[in-house]
Structure 1
Amino acid sequence: MLLRLPGVYRPQDDTEMLADVIASEELGPSSRVLDLCAGTGALSVRAAEAGAGSVTAVDVSLRAVLSIRLNALTRRLPIRVLRGDLTESIRSERFDLIVSNPPYVPAHDDALPARGVARAWDAGKNGRALLDRICAQSPDVLAPGGVLLLTQSALSGIEKTQTMLEEQNLRVELAATAEIPFGPVLEGRRKMLEERGLIEPGQSREQIVVFRAAK
């Protein structure tokens, strides 16, 4: 069981989907893994336990950073934990595998929360405040032959993500997809989502995908 300070995203179905895809990647002592928007560090833990030689977890939240450090310590895993804004603190480094389950839920406006639990899911009106930046920044820190694994909802534009990654000369495929029931956040935004045409009236499930983009 992972330790989690209040306000840190609790691993859910989307995290487990991505963790399962990580398990299908070949990781060994020379593998360098970067976990962006790491939350509790669930994906970092999975990569380290799968045999990755180097794992770096990055999150902008101090509580997330502390949670990751606690989870690494209790498991005696050598995970490097950095507080930072996506790739800003590791621009000069290169990674064989980048994994990210970022905030991607469409919000009422584009003002991103600076604190509080909503920071774990609010991602601007179109849900792409973090997705667009990850698509743009990740290729710069991918080693030759490296892979990006990125999770998102269909509500935040699957086609745009694929297009952005392909424009970075990455080979893109869907590594996993599933339909899951709306959680409390989407249930609370049902009217807004219907008014924007993002869901059908009465819709109660969303499609979650994991992109695999290889350099």
Structure 2
Amino acid sequence: MPGYSRRVIALILPGVYAPQEDTELLTESLRAEAPAPGSQVLDVGTGSGALALEAARHGAEVTAVDVSRRAVWTVRANAWLSRLPVRIRRGNLFGPVRGRTFDLILANPPYVPAPDARHGPRGRSRAWDAGRDGRLLLDRICRDAPALLRPGGVLLIVHSALSDPDRTLRLLRTAGLKASVVRRRRIPFGPVLRSREDWLRRRGLLEPAARMEELVVVRAERTY
């Protein structure tokens, strides 16, 4: 969604995930949460930093994490150009913030099922490929994020309906969180899904006549 990406950030280095419809949908949920000034926000798998910068505009104290060096450089540049304070860390998911807790955690992880998942995603595909079931990182986030939430803290995750939102809800509820789908949006297939249509249909993940993908935002709250 080129217009959206230009509106949100100034710079995207090659190989860094650019804001798309999933970013926009999660941004809408972030704005609905309206993080209070000074609240602690974590954007895990930050990519270009679009979500981290949006949280910083609310006055939140934001930490952005990504495993990609180019993503880290991109967020640093965009934070500087936007004159917004964002603490940026390079690392795998929650490793760089071990021992900390947050009022809000944002996650737009890779979630596209991938036919060849034997050796894990490489290069640019790390931004979208997520194993044969699309849950390579989703399950880890559902397992590890609840412990990082403060009482009353909220986790917002966006992913495709192809990667089993019901499982996301079950895992988060099992961890003691109050979880529900708060946003849905149907979008035309992008280039990656178009290239995998036949494989996804053979696996039963796509209906024969389906031409749209559904995105969902799951909201999970620690109520104790």
Query: Structure 1 length as normaliser, TM-score?
Result: 0.97
Match of 2:33? 25
Please give the alpha-carbon distance, in whole angstroms, between the structure 2 residues aligned to 1:131 and 1:170: 16
Q: 1:173 aligns with which of 180, 191, 194?
A: 180
Are 2:98 and 1:91 aligned?
yes
Are 2:58 and 1:50 aligned?
yes
Match of 2:17? 9
Q: Measure how far apart 1:124 and its partner are.
A: 0.3
| Conservation of the 8 A alpha-carbon contact between 2:38 and 2:59 | no
Q: Measure how far apart 1:140 and its partner are.
A: 1.3
Q: 1:82 aligns with which of 86, 89, 101?
A: 89
Match of 1:197? 204
SS of structure 1 residue aligned to 2:143 = helix
Match of 2:48? 40
Match of 1:183? 190
Map 1:121-200 → 2, pairs under 5 A: 121-200=128-207
Match of 2:125? 118
Please give the alpha-carbon distance, in whole angstroms, between the structure 2 residues aligned to 1:174 and 1:57: 24
Unaligned residue ranges in structure 2 (runs of 5+): 1-5
**Count of aligned pairs between the two proteins:** 213
SS of structure 1 residue aligned to 2:110 = coil
SS of structure 1 residue aligned to 2:62 = strand
Q: Measure how far apart 1:49 and its partner are.
A: 0.8
Q: Measure how far apart 1:28 and its partner are.
A: 2.0
| Conservation of the 8 A alpha-carbon contact between 2:37 and 2:58 | no
CA deviations 1:145-193 (Å, max 9, x no partner) are: 1000000101001110000000000001112111111000000000110
SS of structure 1 residue aligned to 2:156 = strand
Please give the alpha-carbon distance, in whole angstroms, between the structure 2 residues aligned to 1:73 and 1:112: 33
SS of structure 2 residue aligned to 1:55 = strand
Unaligned residue ranges in structure 1 (runs of 5+): none
SS of structure 2 residue aligned to 1:208 = strand
Please give the alpha-carbon distance, in whole angstroms, between the structure 2 residues aligned to 1:162 and 1:113: 25
Residue 152 of structure 2 aligns with an amino acid whose one-letter code is G
Q: Measure how far apart 1:21 and its partner are.
A: 0.7
